[in-house]
Amino acid sequence: MIIAICGFMGAGKSTFLQTFSGVPIIDLDIAIRDEVGEDLGEYIRRSGWEKFRQLESLCLRQKVHTIGQEGLIALGGGTLEDEKNIEFLKESGVKILHLKVDFDEAMNRIAGDANRPQLDKSRDELEELYLKREKVFSKCCDLSLVSDVNSWPTSWTLLKTLF
């Protein structure tokens, strides 16, 4: 089973990956960063969101095809805004896990992170983005977990049983 982890910025997607050893893990943001050779914030500010989202979709497809029969992929916060990415994951049999985080908690977790170009927006714009994405996540996910490291499953075997 391949599980894709979605959630708003600061939901803990990258941290969630670190919980599991012995299973292949891919952080899509890190894979893209390695591909472009610079921090994502710099790349997005220089190349624009449209070009970044195209690269993100391409990288997602490559990583799903190369991860093997089972593993975890942490998606970028906006990966699932593109319906084609959702369709691809579903058609590929990938399960989608939503890490649900409260807006204020997410903002506290990512405050001051200069590598997040979304933080160039106003708080109202970010809250609107949060609400939009939460609707998408709720609609397409197979499972939701609270973004609290103390409530997460601690083994790959246990995680798979939740699906």
The reply, when asked if residue 14 is annotated as ligand binding, is yes
Element (H, E) at 61: helix 49-66
Instruction: Note whether residue 15 is domain-resident.
Output: yes
The reply, when asked if residue 53 is annotated as ligand binding, is yes
What's the pLDDT score for residue 156? 87
| Dihedral sign for Cα atoms in the order 135, 96, 62, 149 | positive
Element (H, E) at 109: helix 103-110
The reply, when asked if residue 13 is annotated as ligand binding, is yes
Report the number of distinct structural domains present in the chain.
Answer: 1
Instruction: Note whether residue 146 is domain-resident.
Output: yes
The reply, when asked if residue 74 is annotated as ligand binding, is no
The reply, when asked if residue 77 is annotated as ligand binding, is yes
Query: Would you call 163 exposed, middle or buried from its count of C-beta atoms within 10 A (0-12, 13-18, 19+)?
Result: exposed
Residue 19's domain spans which residues? 2-158
How many CA atoms, within 13 angstroms, populate the side-chain half-sphere of residue 141? Answer: 20
What's the pLDDT score for residue 112? 77
d(CA 1, CA 160): 7
User: Are the C-beta atoms of 10 and 110 separated by less than 8 Å?
Assistant: yes
User: pTM of the full predicted structure?
Assistant: 0.91
User: Are the C-beta atoms of 77 and 118 separated by less than 8 Å?
Assistant: yes
The reply, when asked if residue 11 is annotated as ligand binding, is yes
Backbone angles phi, psi at 156, to 5 degrees: -60, -40
What's the pLDDT score for residue 158? 87
Instruction: Note whether residue 88 is domain-resident.
Output: yes
Name residues of the chain where pLDDT drops below 50.
none
What's the pLDDT score for residue 21? 82
Task: Quick: pLDDT tens for 58-83.
Answer: 999 999 999 999 999 999 989 999 99
Residue identified by tokens 């246990």 is: 158
Q: Other C-beta atoms within 10 Å of 3: how many?
A: 23
CATH number of the domain within which 70 lies: 3.40.50.300
Instruction: Note whether residue 163 is domain-resident.
Output: no
